[in-house]
Structures are given as structure tokens and as C-alpha cells.
Amino acid sequence: MSERRSSVPRRGPGRGMGNVEKAKNFRGTIAKLILYMRPYAFTTFIIILFAAGSTIFGIIAPKILGTATTKLAQGIAAKYSQTGGIDFAGIRNILLTLLAIYGTSAVFTYMQGWLTAGVTQKITYRLRKEISEKINRLPLKYFDTQTHGEVLSRVTNDVDTVSQSLNQSVQQVFTSAVTIVGILFMMISISWQLTLMALVVVPLSGIAAAIVVRNSQKYFKLQQTTLGNVNGHIEEMYGGHIVMKAFNGEERSVREFEELNHKLYDSAWKAQFMSGIMMPITSFIGNLGYVGCCVLGGYLVIHKGLAIGDIQAFITYVRNFNHPITQTAQIMNVLQSTAAAAERVFEFLEEQEEIPDTDTPVSIRNEDGSLRIKGNVTFENVVFGYDPEKIIIHDLNAYIARGSQVAIVGPTGAGKTTIVKLLMRFYELNSGKIYVDGKDITTLTRNDLRDCFGMVLQDAWLQTGTIMDNIRYGKMDATDEEVVKAADEAFVDHFIRTLEDGYQTVINEESTNISQGQKQLLTIARAFLSDPKILILDEATSSVDTRTEILIQKGMEKLMKGRTSFVIAHRLSTIRNADMILVMNHGDIVEIGTHSELLAKDGFYAQLYNAQFEGAS
């Protein structure tokens, strides 16, 4: 069983916000996204077919409508010249055909949108799944330098941005391409002169779009980065709001939030402004071509005999032709946001992972799956530093026999907690070996290794859920009877039964509906349920009342019986009966012995012990 520490997260260095950042590899990021679509190649092909069908039917419709207009104009002219009349039957047939075309186009559009949504959501699901799995493979040192909000931002905001952008862009890319080609063909079939007039403005639209895209990319990248910093600050302040209020930090918190929020506002405003001016600029340029076509079209009708219905169709095509060009430019703008978000997601997925388990692990389990561990632990020439340039544990050597109670004492920063993290292989050693029952811990899988341990930490962690579920976290397949038995052994059963809902009482998100001491007793019950061979105990009685402290001490003493126990001791009076005391200072074990032996030496331990009691008096 492992237990996470629930504390106010440290703000890591995060990402630089002083300089405007650009996407480091736009093409590479988009190429990776395309690779994510490879499993859905067949569905994508069907989407393309539906997009092409929908667009082609939509392109044909104006031409057919123009034919109806021409037939109506010819009928009116014939009626006034008394040479004929309006062919209502012919017009009706044309309109029915037009209705069928529009209906088919709508069905194709619906199917295209439905399939596209499915593909993009599957890609989103896959990204979130890979991020979740990646988090479990990252070494703890990564989280030492990142805020929780920064990581959460990549799981939520960045993936959502990718999802929404893909959902819009995938279908628009296909429809825009088919629309441009199809409309161009229909325009040429009506009049090459009008087509030239319409195409004159296309390069101007492309140049304008390219300028906007080039200038907007850097702001979209900065927007995603600053959003992660804002989320990190909010999560941090909410998680530690009691401490923040206790130290009158509201003003500082608001000031820092305003600074971060201003940077987000500045980058988001510029990104959205640059994105927003794309459509007006390209539309204005497109309208210039539209006006030119109207003037030239009138001339061709009068002097060249061009059908009035063809002019109507052509004007419709000009309007529709400008739209996919503008839409394509808009897609390129959206892709900047997609690339900025996707790049942050891929950067996270490409972070260096912890060293994988050995391919040939040593088995420490019996045939029934139970652990075959006695609890002997050996530290052999262990050297470690969170930063390789700053070693904090120097040449640690110790042998702990099975069933021993080992206390680890020393001043703050001596390396007490670090030993525990190394023992459970949360960090890798710089050099040296740690053995459990003579087996190098690097030859075991991390799952098997951590199943050997039970932890009761000073900062008790409980999840939202019932008391029954929180105790069962130590052994997920435990029966209700086993949970109750573990609670009874931890002296917490009586307290639980006094609650209105008993074991079904729901603990809220911050665990504020039970006391600190009660939380601690529940974590002891969780450890009882997991039945570990080796215990790690971080003395947890400093912030509870005397009666609860006695219960916790009794629970911990009962839990330690017959198990190898590592006790990180803060109150030296509580470890007088320890079989071995490791006295640490500056990462080194400076003394080893029992309480009486160390006092007799009158060394560093004696100084700590006497200083603590002098302080208490």
C-alpha cells in the first residue's frame, strides 16, 4: 500500500512568461496529430467521401437554380411578346430536383459531422488516457518542479483545445478544398472572363491571411502557457487557503493572481484579436472581387448574351468561393491554437520517465499471490542527491533485521524522509544498493516492492468517498468484515459507529468533516488491512489531543508487532524502546544504537534529546 502526501503544492519554476514563445515545431506537432488519426484512416476516408458528396451537391445547386431563373425569365419575356408562356411544370421539376439535392447534401453533412465527432473524441480519449498513464510513469522529481495546476492544465485545457480544434478543422479542411475546386470548375464553365475577375483578389486574401497567421501563432502559444500558470496559482491558493488566510496572504495572493491574470488577458486578447480580424479582412478583399464581377456580369448580359440565370449562379458562386478561402485561412489560424496546445501535450508525453522495471524481475510471491517476504532490509554504500551536484546522503550503510523497530532521528534536512523514499524506490540511487531479504530492490517490480510496505504518514491522505472505501484502499478486494476488523484493531471502530451513517459516512473532498486524529486512525486501519511486512511510520501525534494521541500510539504499537518498522521520529521520547536508532545529520548516519546506548555516548543524539526536553521545559 502506498499513500500520497496531501500538502500545499510547491510552485516550481514553471515556464518563462517574460518572453513571447512561439511553437517550437509547428509542422512536427501537426504531423504527430495526423499519426494519431492513422487508426481511423478508413473512417477518415468515409468522412472525405461524405464531405465531397455534400459539397458537390451544394455546388451543383446554384447552377440548377440559375436554370430555373433563366426559364422563368424566358417565360416572362415570351408572355410579354405573346410568343409563349411560363413553363411552370418545367420550373416545378427543377425545384423538386433542387430540393432533393439540398436534402441529400444535408444528410451527407450530418453523417460527416457525426463521424468527425467520433474520430476527434476517440483521439481526445486516447490523449487523456496516455497522459494519465504517463503521470504514473513519471519520476517524482518531475513533480518537484511543476505545479499541480500546470499538469492539470495539460490534461484539461490543452486536450480540450486540441479536441475542439480538430472537430472544427478536420471536416472544414476537406469541405473547403472540395468547395474551392468545384466552384472554380463551375465558374469557368459559366464565363472565363468573370472567373478571372473573381480570382484577381485571391492572392490578396492569401497574403493578408498569411500575415495574420504568422503574427497570431506566438500569442496562441503564450495564451496556453499563461493559462497553465493561472490554473497553478488558483489550485495552489485553494488547496492552502487556510494557511493563506492565517498569514494574511489574501492581498499577496490577489496581487499575484492579478499579475498572472493580466498576462493571460494580454496574450489572450492579442490571440483572439488577431484571430478575429482574419474574417473581416478577407471578407473585405473578397467583396472587392464581388463588386467587379457584378459590373462585368452586367456588361456580358447586355453585350455577349450571357443568360441572366448564369449571372445569378455566378454571383452565388463568387460569394461561396470567397467563403472557403476565408474558412481555409481561419482554419490555419485555428491550427495555431491546436499546435500550441498539442505541443504542450506532446512535451508532457515525451518527458523522461522513471527507469522501467527489469525485464526479468525476481519473484517474491507465492503461488496464491501472497508475498514471500520476511522483512530484512540492508543499505549498502547508498549515495543519493535530488540534484546530482548536491549529494545529501553519503555512503549510508545499515542492516535492519526482520521484526525490528528502527527509529530514524535527526534535525530537519538530515535526510530522514529521503531514506523512506529511496527504500520504496520513489527515486533512483546515485550509487549503492538497497536489499529486501537479500534481493536488490531494482530486481523487483515496483508493484511487488511497494506491496511489501505500509505507510502511515504525518499528513494523512483520504479520498472523497465513504469511510469503508477509504480503509479498503489498503486492500481493494477486502470484504466488509475484513475492513471492520482492521478498524477495530486500529481502535477506530467505536468512533465510526458513533457516526450517523457509520462506515458509509462520506468524507468530503478536504476531509474537513472528521478531525486530524480520526483521519490518522483511519490510515492506521488502512495499514492494518493491507497487512504489510515492512512499515513506514511518520509520527503523527503532534497535532492531536492527548486522548487521541494515546489511541494513535496504541494503534501504531499494535500495528508494528511482528513487522519491520521504520519510524521517522519527531518526539524522541516516543522511540525509547526502539531496537535501533539511526541518528542522521547532513545525510550521514552519525550514530547507531539503542536509546540508552546513545545517551551513554553523550554524542549528537544526546544533544538532540536534551535540547528537546530543555525546550519542552
CATH number of the domain bearing residue 92 = 1.20.1560.10
Mean pLDDT of 448-474: 85
Task: Specify whether 329 is located in the same domain as 393.
Answer: no
Task: Specify whether 321 is located in the same domain as 434.
Answer: no
263 close to 233: Cβ distance less than 8 angstroms: no
Residue 198's contacts (CB-CB under 8 Å, 6 or more residues apart) are 187, 289, 290, 292, 293, 318, 321
pLDDT, one tens digit per residue, over 118-136 is 888 888 888 888 888 888 8
Residue 360 lies in a domain: no
Q: What is the residue type of 100?
A: A
Task: Specify whether 441 is located in the same domain as 343.
Answer: no
Task: Specify whether 338 is located in the same domain as 440.
Answer: no
The CB density around residue 24, as the number of other CB atoms within 10 Å, is 11
Q: With 60 as the cut, is the pLDDT of residue 17 above it?
A: no
pLDDT at position 118 is 87
pLDDT at position 432 is 92
Q: With 60 as the cut, is the pLDDT of residue 16 above it?
A: no
Task: Specify whether 437 is located in the same domain as 343.
Answer: no
pLDDT, one tens digit per residue, over 147-188 is 777 777 777 888 888 888 777 776 677 778 788 888 888 888
Q: What is the residue type of 237?
A: M
Residue 17 lies in a domain: no
* Structural domain that includes position 581: 377-616
Task: Specify whether 86 is located in the same domain as 175.
Answer: yes
**Mean pLDDT, all residues of the chain:** 80
Task: Specify whether 387 is located in the same domain as 337.
Answer: no
Does the predicted model carry a pTM greater than 0.85? no
Worst-scoring range by mean pLDDT, 181-195, 393-407, 417-431? 181-195
pLDDT at position 9 is 35
pLDDT, one tens digit per residue, over 591-616 is 888 889 999 998 888 888 888 766 44
pLDDT at position 67 is 77
Pick the more confident residue, 10 or 154.
154
Task: Specify whether 440 is located in the same domain as 479.
Answer: yes
Task: Specify whether 412 is located in the same domain as 551.
Answer: yes
Residue 280 lies in a domain: yes
pLDDT at position 511 is 63
H helices present in 535-585, as ranges: 546-560
Q: Which residue(s) pair with 405 in the sheet?
A: 565
% of residues, the chain, pLDDT over 90: 5
Taking alpha carbons only, the member of 167, 157, 176, 147 closest to residue 340 is: 157
Task: Specify whether 456 is located in the same domain as 532.
Answer: yes
592 close to 398: Cβ distance less than 8 angstroms: yes
Place 484 in a pLDDT band, splitting at 50, 70 and 90.
very high
Distance (Å, whole) CA 57 – CA 97 = 11
Mean pLDDT of 195-204: 77
Place 435 in a pLDDT band, splitting at 50, 70 and 90.
very high
For the chain, how are helix, strand and coil distributed in percent, rounded to 5?
65, 10, 25
Residue 92 lies in a domain: yes
The CB density around residue 339, as the number of other CB atoms within 10 Å, is 28
pLDDT at position 326 is 67
Residue 525 lies in a domain: yes
Pick the more confident residue, 448 or 306.
448
Q: What are phi and psi of 76, to 5 degrees?
A: -65, -40
Distance (Å, whole) CA 407 – CA 575 = 7
Place 22 in a pLDDT band, splitting at 50, 70 and 90.
very low
% of residues, the chain, pLDDT over 70: 91
Residue 539 lies in a domain: yes
Residue 239 lies in a domain: no
Place 468 in a pLDDT band, splitting at 50, 70 and 90.
very high
Place 504 in a pLDDT band, splitting at 50, 70 and 90.
very high
Worst-scoring range by mean pLDDT, 5-14, 173-182, 325-334? 5-14
pLDDT, one tens digit per residue, over 93-114 is 888 888 898 898 889 888 888 8
Task: Specify whether 482 is located in the same domain as 608.
Answer: yes
pLDDT at position 322 is 67
pLDDT, one tens digit per residue, over 212-265 is 777 777 787 788 788 878 877 787 777 677 777 777 777 888 888 888 888 888
Residue 509 lies in a domain: yes
pLDDT at position 341 is 84
pLDDT at position 434 is 93
Mean pLDDT of 395-412: 86
Distance (Å, whole) CA 574 – CA 549 = 11
Q: Into how many domains does the chain fold?
A: 2
CATH number of the domain bearing residue 506 = 3.40.50.300
Worst-scoring range by mean pLDDT, 274-283, 468-477, 519-528? 274-283
Pick the more confident residue, 192 or 206.
192
Task: Specify whether 284 is located in the same domain as 328.
Answer: yes
Q: What is the residue type of 135?
A: I
pLDDT, one tens digit per residue, over 544-555 is 666 777 777 788
Q: With 90 as the cut, is the pLDDT of residue 517 above it?
A: no
Q: With 50 as the cut, is the pLDDT of residue 1 above it?
A: no
Place 541 in a pLDDT band, splitting at 50, 70 and 90.
low
Residues in the chain: 617
Q: What is the residue type of 385?
A: G
